[in-house]
């Protein structure tokens, strides 16, 4: 899972002193509203007049990468894109930090036919693929299709035709924003609508009658930056922004369905966002109500009376737990306290769900959470979490509850048992590492140390979200393959085994090839060019800046990494 955004300013003044015309200012702010979607790396690329591209990207949280905004001041441009990476395929190398250069692309999702695409690029398109990131594959496919036009400068028809051919080659889930130097910003979404993407507009701060246009993974990023008329990019649709023009919307491919990933509502999205017209907050309230009814049916009246307090595992489950407590007429308590100290946050108290490595996740739980002993001591506690994946976090949480004095611990999950791999951009685990795979609920309870474990029913989770849909709730579907093994798209033969192998053990092994510098555009160079010639770095702040040339036909479609030495 990743967070992406893109912006096209309605007016640009290179002499603007407060930066209100610079796309990078808003892109930088958007990263903080989307940080929960990716904590592995962050990047921004902007395009200035003359087609010059300036960028900054590196491993780490946005505040670290951009030095709390100090590295943004030299990113001058009237349009740009940003990206927060949560790696799901490939390595955790800096070389895979997006945005990717030339034609700059930021991508959220996962391509399930990556092997086929890589072979096509190698044997047919004769394009070098520098990293194991499927985002580079999508960029290279799209760039190759644009190159097939043979034009030095493209128009809308060329762009959308290239996208249509890209859609025919790619399989999986994607929401992407692409920036073409000197031309515009385009956002597009997979034909099933699995990954979210929204766009909106706001009046220009410097030119009356003009509008700024922005795309983002979640509506909260747009709303907080003053954008209104927020609209979903529909499945299979693309929207193009060019300076001084109204947006152009085109249906690239007919929708195969409208099936957003239900895990957005369970866990990933912020509660103050709407995903495809469905309030994340309200959906979690519904999840809590339906889970409460399941608990009633499971425990019975007598056992239900034993529960003294309902306690959420902060923060995603807070809303569901509050609604559940009200439904059961039980006291609600924030018995776990989340460590919000920023210094600790920078050291690893971020979302344990998306941390690579089980030992890191386990150690992080106690850094992230502590207990208020009075809320547990001598009580039967009903804990509410959004999900149980590997069981590592749940096991540590139950142990903490018992250490705080709980006499009985019932652990409940707002989502059903996770039994299968996630294919479309959320790195849950390989099937054999999923705690629910091959175990009964009693065995799961014993494994995590709880007295009982109760899961949401899948039909109730679907209903909790579908009831809020602006479309027909009776026909609203979701991607729920992690729960039942029925995925939205056809799965290539051998892909599940390949994915399981990637995610098992040391799945995020270090990439030992060249690394990208933390800033600097690169332009096209032949695959066999010497490294010294292929690398073109424009430093920020204290570094000397190398002026890139404006991309021409071949220069704006290809290479995207600055060579460097790997850090130990």
Q: What is the DSSP letter of 90?
A: S
User: Is residue 546 very low, low, confident or very high in pLDDT (cuts 50, 70, 90)?
Assistant: very low
The predicted-structure confidence for 294-345, as pLDDT tens digits, reads as follows 999 999 999 999 999 999 999 999 999 999 999 999 999 999 999 876 444 4
What does the alpha-carbon distance between residue 195 and residue 500 come to, in Å, rounded to a whole number? 22
Query: Rounded CA gap, 475 and 466, in Å?
Result: 8
Calpha distance 46→325 (Å, rounded): 48
Query: Can you tell me the distance from the alpha carbon of 473 to that of 227, in angstroms, rounded to the nearest whole number?
Result: 28
| DSSP secondary structure, 343-406, as one string | HHHHTT-S-GGG-SSHHHHHHHHHHHEEE-GGGTTT-EEEEEES--SSSHHHHHHHHHHHHTT-
Dihedral sign for Cα atoms in the order 357, 359, 362, 368? negative
Structural domains present in the chain:
3-259+511-534 (3.60.20.10), 279-479 (3.40.50.2020)
Confidence band (pLDDT; 50, 70, 90) for 363? confident
Does the structure show a pLDDT above 90 at 135? no
pLDDT, position 427: 79
Give the per-residue pLDDT at 531: 34
By the 8 A CB rule, do 361 and 351 touch?
A: no
Q: Which of 16-20, 267-271, 347-351 has the lowest mean pLDDT?
A: 347-351
Distance CA 516, CA 94 (A): 6
Q: Is the pLDDT of residue 348 over 60?
A: no
Q: Identify the pLDDT of residue 528.
A: 35
Q: Taking all residues of the chain, what is their mean pLDDT, rounded to a whole number?
A: 84
pLDDT tens for 140-159 read 999 999 999 888 788 999 99
pLDDT band at 20 (very low <50, low <70, confident <90, very high): low
Tell me how far apart the alpha carbons of residues 517 and 537 are, in angstroms, rounded to a whole number.
Answer: 8
Check whether 225 has a pLDDT greater than 80: yes
**pLDDT value of residue 86:** 78
Q: Tokens 């990556």 belong to which residue?
A: 114
pLDDT greater than 70 at residue 73: yes
pTM of the model: 0.85
CA 447 – CA 469 distance, rounded (Å):
37
Report how far residue 52's alpha carbon sits from residue 79's, in angstroms, rounded to the nearest whole number. 11
Least confident interval from 89-93, 144-148, 208-212? 89-93
Regarding predicted confidence, which is higher, 429 or 382? Answer: 382
As a whole number, mean pLDDT of residues 392-417 equals: 98
When pLDDT is cut at 50, 70 and 90, the band that residue 553 belongs to is very low
Q: Is the dihedral of CA 560, 562, 563, 566 positive or negative?
A: negative
Check: CB of residue 460 under 8 Å from CB of residue 294.
yes
Mark the binding-site residues, compressed into ranges: 316, 385-386
For residues 396-409, average pLDDT = 98
Give me the helix-helix angle, 114-123 and 134-147, nearest 10°: 40
pLDDT at position 536 over 60: no
Pick 150 or 255 by higher pLDDT: 255
Q: Which residues are catalytic?
A: 2
Q: What does the pLDDT look like over 379-399, one tens digit per residue?
A: 999 999 999 999 999 999 999
């Amino acid at each position: 899972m990743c967070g992406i955004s893109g912006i096209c300013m309605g007016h640009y003044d290179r002499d603007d002193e407060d930066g209100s015309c610079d796309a990078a200012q808003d892109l930088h702010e958007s990263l903080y509203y989307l940080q929960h979607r990716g904590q592995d790396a962050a990047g921004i690329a902007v395009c200035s007049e003359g087609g010059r591209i300036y960028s900054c990207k590196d491993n780490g949280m946005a505040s670290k990468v951009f030095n709390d905004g100090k590295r943004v001041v030299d990113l001058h441009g009237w349009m740009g894109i940003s990206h927060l990476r949560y790696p799901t395929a490939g390595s955790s190398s800096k070389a895979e930090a997006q945005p990717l250069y030339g034609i700059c692309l930021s991508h959220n999702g996962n391509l399930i036919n990556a092997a086929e695409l890589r072979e096509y690029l190698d044997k047919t398109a004769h394009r070098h693929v520098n990293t194991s990131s499927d985002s580079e594959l999508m960029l290279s496919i799209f760039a190759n299709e644009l190159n097939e036009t043979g034009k030095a400068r493209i128009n809308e028809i060329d762009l959308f035709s290239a996208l249509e051919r890209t859609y025919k080659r790619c399989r999986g889930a994607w929401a992407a924003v692409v920036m073409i130097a000197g031309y515009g910003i385009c956002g597009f979404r997979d034909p099933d609508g699995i990954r979210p993407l929204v766009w909106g507009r706001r009046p220009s701060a410097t030119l009356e009658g003009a509008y700024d246009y922005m795309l983002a993974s979640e509506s909260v990023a747009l709303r907080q930056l003053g954008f209104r008329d927020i609209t979903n990019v529909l499945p299979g649709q693309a929207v193009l922004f060019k300076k001084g023009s109204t947006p152009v919307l085109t249906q690239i491919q007919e929708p195969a369905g409208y099936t957003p990933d239900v895990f957005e509502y369970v866990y990933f999205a912020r509660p103050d966002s709407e995903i495809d017209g469905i309030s994340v907050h309200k959906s979690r309230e519904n999840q809590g109500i339906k889970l409460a009814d399941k608990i009633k049916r499971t425990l019975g009246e007598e056992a239900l009376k034993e529960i003294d307090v309902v306690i959420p595992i902060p923060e995603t489950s807070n809303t569901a737990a509050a609604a559940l407590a009200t439904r059961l007429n039980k006291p609600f308590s924030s018995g776990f306290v989340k460590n919000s100290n920023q210094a600790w946050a920078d050291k690893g108290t971020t979302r344990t769900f998306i941390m690579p490595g089980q030992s890191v996740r386990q150690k992080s739980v106690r850094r992230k959470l502590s207990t208020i002993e009075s809320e547990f001591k001598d009580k039967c506690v009903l804990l509410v979490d959004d999900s149980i994946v590997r069981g590592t976090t749940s096991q540590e949480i139950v142990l903490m509850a018992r250490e705080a004095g709980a006499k009985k611990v019932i652990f409940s999950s707002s989502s059903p048992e996770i039994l299968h791999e996630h294919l479309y951009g959320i790195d849950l685990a390989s099937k054999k590492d999923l705690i629910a795979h091959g175990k009964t609920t009693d065995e799961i309870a014993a494994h995590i140390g709880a007295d009982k474990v109760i899961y949401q029913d899948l039909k109730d989770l679907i209903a909790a979200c579908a009831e809020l849909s602006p479309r027909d709730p009776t026909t609203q579907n979701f991607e729920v393959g992690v729960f039942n093994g029925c995925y939205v798209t056809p799965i290539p033969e051998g892909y599940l085994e390949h994915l399981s192998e990637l995610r098992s053990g040391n799945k995020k092994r270090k990439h030992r090839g060249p690394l990208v510098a933390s800033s600097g555009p690169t332009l096209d160079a032949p695959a066999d060019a010497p490294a010294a010639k292929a690398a073109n770095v424009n430093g920020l702040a204290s570094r000397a800046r190398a002026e890139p040339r404006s991309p021409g036909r071949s220069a704006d479609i290809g290479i995207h990494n600055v060579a460097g030495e790997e850090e130990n």
